Chain A
Amino acid sequence: MNPGNLLKVAINALKRNKMRSFLTMLGIIIGVASVITMLAIGQGSKKSIQDQIASMGSNMLFVMPGNMRMGGVQQGSSSSQRLTVADIKAIKTECDAIVAVSPEVRSSGQAVSGSSNWPTTIYGGSEQYLDIRSWTVVSGRNFTDTEAEGSAKVCLVGRTVADELFGEGIDPTGETIRFKNIPFKIIGVLSEKGQNSFGQDQDDVIIAPYTTVQKRILAQTYIQSIQMSARSAEESALAESQVEEVLRRTHKLREEENNDFEIRSQEELATTMTSVTEILTILLGAIAGISLLVGGIGIMNIMYVSVTERTREIGLRMSVGGRSVDILLQFLIESILLSVFGGLIGIMIGFGASSVVEALTSWPISVMWGSVILAFAVCTVIGVFFGWYPARRAAELDPIEALRFE
């Protein structure tokens, strides 16, 4: 039989049992749709985490004080006072993979302006702090190096702080606020960042020169962490080893001593965060894959039923000249049609479901073309694989037995 006729015969056979064909396809439809949707969701959440981490800063590295021993007693990392301005100077001069470096000191407290007040956190940094943390100033200006080093009582406020103290959308540049009774002149407003992946409002900040926060608010000489930018994402590992070398020297650590600081990079953070979603994506994809497999078994099952039911038809086709290969192809094409049509509908539903999830979660969900092609290829393979055995059984029937079958 020629291919056109084979196709026509297969389509007619499927049309004769519309409900059954549809239900058989449903297994594949659900399988394919869930594979595509799950992978799209996984990809979307990964993308969203990556975006959020990128918004934290540019090729950022940060040094936090680590655990250390004092006379045999392990001290908590927060009690460490090992990071100093001297460390920063050393990093600035010696690490060529680092393009920007800033100390960070922070304090929580109540910001007051007139009759309004708002609990927030003040961060102290150098002039480069904004670049490292990917902040931009939307109104006003950044503080200068002189101001940063000279304990100037100036600050930049995040959008949330501005809204809470001065009212929605008002530009408070030039106003004065008080933080722990220290008056700060607002010299600029920061661009909006929104929530980070932990649900923390990144706009609820005040940024001031670190010297001001150190001396006027905290009254301390050490710094809480060092924030840096590597020249590029690729050089982040190099920068990390350079910083480690410098800090070990400035901290006068002996060969056998552990670091009394910890270096983390944005890269590492991104990897850690996305590895969770990657595992989740694989898990979801695997479950969806299993449902696709179950759909395939559904096809095999129905094809067996169909072969048994149509034994006499097979006998007749053989008696009028149908060869085994004609019968084989006829049933194989039927199962491929079921799986491929199911796959196509599943792909469409997968796209639909992905955009519904996108609308509900506002994640940047994108259906990967790779997963569409994969799903389609898997469908065809399923059609051939699960159709093969029933079709073989049909093709191997003895025409005499088949014609006599009741």
Chain B
Amino acid sequence: MKTIIDIATLKKDYHVGEVTVHALRGVDLKINEGEFVAIMGASGSGKSTMLNIIGCLDRPTDGTYLLDSVNVAGMSKNERAAIRNLKIGFVFQSYNLLSRTSALENVELPLMYNRLITTKERRERAVAALEAVGLADRMDHMPNQLSGGQQQRVAIARSLVNDPVVILADEATGNLDTRTSYEIMSLFQELNSKGKTIVFVTHEPDIARCMTRSVVFRDGHIIREEDVKSRLNAAEMLRALPVEQD
């Protein structure tokens, strides 16, 4: 099986004034194609730093990081921007959609930064991505006309549109209620079942149990790494939820 993310002895230090903060103290992590990995840990454990480095938003102080067999650890700012554009899809806790911009145009955004993609192709791929997340009928809606769950679906469509090697989700269900969370997780499971590699930062054990593997961080180290036993099916969980009665 192909290794998408290959990280070895990764370190990240921050300098806050005189003090050096060791956010990551030598992390080894391999993620294969088709995995759905939960990154867990308390705040300050280093999981956000890890996600930023995996997402090429930040660069490690030391160590190696191969993304899709490309060494990205020493890349410049512009090179990392290009890598993000081609190989990574982000889903954020607060959706981060452009306001007063239609769902379709929000999804098109990553492709706007790829000069090789024509306007026509961009439109087609954005439409396909929105269809894949079940929002074919909401393409022309503005974010403020969509529910939280729908906005997150638009964000997921945006992360899919460039056909990335890995989707990085940062607390993607953090702003959603239980029902909507399971809807979103069900969508992620569906994408994963079609072969998408997903790395998902969460602190909710229930959400983590929807994935294939969990990696737990503490004080800049991975303290536990295990395959998820008795994996939850989000779609079934959703059906099991009591029907809301107002």
Q: Cβ of A114: which chain B residues have Cβ within 8 Å of it?
A: none
Task: Determine the residue in chain B with the shortest Cβ distance to A316.
Answer: B96
Closest A residue to B92 using CB positions:
A403
* Contact A323–B57 (Cβ < 8 Å): no
Give B37-60 as 1s and 0s: 1 = Cβ < 8 Å from A's Cβ atoms.
000000000000000100101100
Q: How far apart are the CA atoms of A17 and B99 in the complex, in Å?
A: 12
Say if the beta carbon of B82 comes within 8 Å of chain A.
yes
- Asked whether any CB of chain A lies closer than 8 Å to the CB of B239, the reply is no
- Chain B residues with CB below 8 A from A317, complex form: 109, 113
Tell me if A229 is interfacial: C-beta within 8 Å of chain B.
no
CB-based contact B81/A316 at 8 Å:
no
Residue A320 at the chain B interface, CB threshold 8 Å: yes
B77 lies within 8 A of A324 (CB): yes
Nearest chain A CB to B13's CB is how many angstroms away? Answer: 15
Give every chain A residue within 8 A of B85 (Cβ-Cβ). 320-321
Contact string against A for B residues 86-126, beta-carbon threshold 8 Å, 1 for contact and 0 otherwise: 10001010001011110000000110111100000000000
Please determine whether A321 and B92 come into contact, CB atoms closer than 8 angstroms. no
Residue A241 lies at the interface, judged by CB distance under 8 Å to chain B = no
Interface residue? B158 (CB, 8 A): yes
Instruction: With both chains docked as a complex, state the minimum distance between the C-beta of A396 and any C-beta of chain B, in angstroms.
Output: 10
| A316 in contact with B55 given A324-B78, A326-B113 (CB within 8 Å) | no
Among B55, B81, B112, the residue within 8 A (CB) of A5 is: B112
| In the complex, B84 has a CB within 8 A of chain A | yes
A400 & B58 in contact (Cβ 8 Å cutoff): yes
> Are A400 and B52 in touch, CB under 8 angstroms?
yes
Q: Is the interface of A mostly helix, strand, loop or mixed?
A: helix
Choose one: A312, A313, A319, A325; the contact of B55 (CB below 8 Å): A319
Q: Choose from B58, B82, B86, B98 the contact partner of A316 (Cβ within 8 Å).
A: B98
The yes or no answer to A12 lying at the interface (CB within 8 A) is yes
Residue of B99, B100, B110, B112 contacting most chain A CB atoms (<10 Å): B112
Question: In the complex, how many angstroms separate the beta carbon of B124 from the nearest chain A beta carbon?
Answer: 16
| A16-B78 in contact given A317-B109, A320-B110, A321-B85 (Cβ < 8 Å) | no
Whether A12 touches B82, Cβ cut-off 8 Å, given contacts A316-B96, A399-B57, is no
**Contact: B58 with A322, CB < 8 Å?**
no
Q: With a CB–CB cut-off of 8 A, which chain B residues contact A316?
A: 96, 98, 109
Shortest A348–chain B CB gap in Å is: 29
Contact of A318 among B81, B86, B99, B115 (CB under 8 A): B81
Cβ-defined contact, B81 with A323, below 8 A: yes
B92 touching A313, Cβ below 8 Å: no
Find chain B residues with CB under 8 A from A326 CB: 113
* Residues of B contacting A319 in the complex (Cβ-Cβ under 8 angstroms): 55, 57, 84, 90
Report yes or no: A323 in contact with B78, Cβ–Cβ below 8 A: yes
Question: Least Cβ distance of B59 to chain A in Å?
Answer: 11
Could you tell me if B96 and A403 are in contact, using CB atoms closer than 8 angstroms?
Answer: yes
Q: CA separation between A315 and B109, bound complex, in Å?
A: 13
A1 adjacent to chain B (CB < 8 Å): yes
Contact check, A320 vs B57: say whether CB atoms are below 8 A apart: no
A312 with B96, Cβ < 8 A, contacts A320-B109, A321-B114 known: yes
Residues of A within 8 A of B101 (CB): 12
CB-contacts of A276-327 with B (<8 A): 312-313, 315-326
- Say yes or no: A321 contacts B78, CB within 8 Å: no
A325 — which chain B residues lie within 8 A by C-beta?
78
Cβ–Cβ contact B98 & A313, under 8 A: yes
Q: Does A2 contact B (CB under 8 A)?
A: yes
In the complex, chain A residues whose CB is within 8 Å of the CB of B162: 320-321
In the complex formed, the residue of B with least CB distance to A8 is B112
CA distance A326 to B101 in the complex (A): 19
Q: Give residues of chain B (171-208) contacting chain A, Cβ–Cβ below 8 Å.
A: none
B55 / chain A contacts, CB cutoff of 8 Å: 319
Which B residues lie within 8 Å of A315 (CB)? Answer: 96
Chain B residue numbers with a CB within 8 Å of A321 are: 81-82, 84-86, 110, 113-114, 162
11 contacts between A and B (CB under 8 A): A1-B113, A1-B115, A16-B99, A318-B81, A319-B84, A319-B90, A320-B84, A321-B86, A321-B114, A322-B81, A323-B113
List residues of chain B with CB under 8 Å of any chain A CB. Answer: 52, 55, 57-58, 77-78, 81-82, 84-86, 90, 92, 96, 98-101, 109-110, 112-115, 158, 162
Q: Which residues of A contact B (CB under 8 A)?
A: 1-2, 5, 9, 12, 16, 312-313, 315-326, 399-400, 403
Given contacts A316-B109, A320-B84, 4 further A-B contacts (CB under 8 A): A318-B57, A320-B113, A320-B162, A323-B82
